[in-house]
Amino acid sequence: MPHSTGRSLRTALEDEAIQRLLTITGVNLAVAAGLMAAIGSINRFKSPQKLVSYFGLNPRVRQSGLGPARHGRISKAGRSHARVMLVEAAWAAAKAPGPLRAFFIWIRARRGHQIAAVAVARIRDRIAGVAIRAISASSEASRSW
């Protein structure tokens, strides 16, 4: 392993946000570092839904006037490489026991395995956003003292 790679791995492992992301089922170091690189500052996003939209994991909505809204496939707008990492991590989470697997099985029974994987990725993205925002808020609070 080259010296610079070892140093960057150590730096990544020391990052508090990456450590928090590693606690989520299915997220490894590559996914955590890739997500942090894609997100940048979490303060850019006002809500977890904005982060989901940034990765293009939100469903398209078609609505005209007062008619009912029709939800379609995911928008695929935004960071495609981060979206792919989230979906791959969702497949790993679907194989591990826990609440994300139960959710995957429930959606898979109703809509199919591909849609279930994207749904798990959407939930994991929201969890990651909340986890990173908690770290960001705690570090800003400690700086203000």
Region of residue 78 (left: phi > 0; alpha: psi -120 to 50; beta: else): left
Q: Are the beta carbons of 81 and 89 closer than 8 angstroms? A: no
**Phi and psi, residue 79, nearest 5°:** -75, 100
Over the chain (145 residues), the average pLDDT of each successive run of 10 is: 58 82 88 88 86 86 85 82 90 91 94 92 87 72 40
Q: Could you list the residue range(s) of the whole structural domain that residue 72 is in? A: 3-144
- Contacts with 123 (C-beta within 8 Å, 6 or more apart), sequence order: 100, 103
The pair of three-digit structure tokens given for residue 83, joined into one six-digit string:
């979206």
pTM of the model: 0.75
| Number of domain units in the chain | 1
- Give the pLDDT score at 143: 40
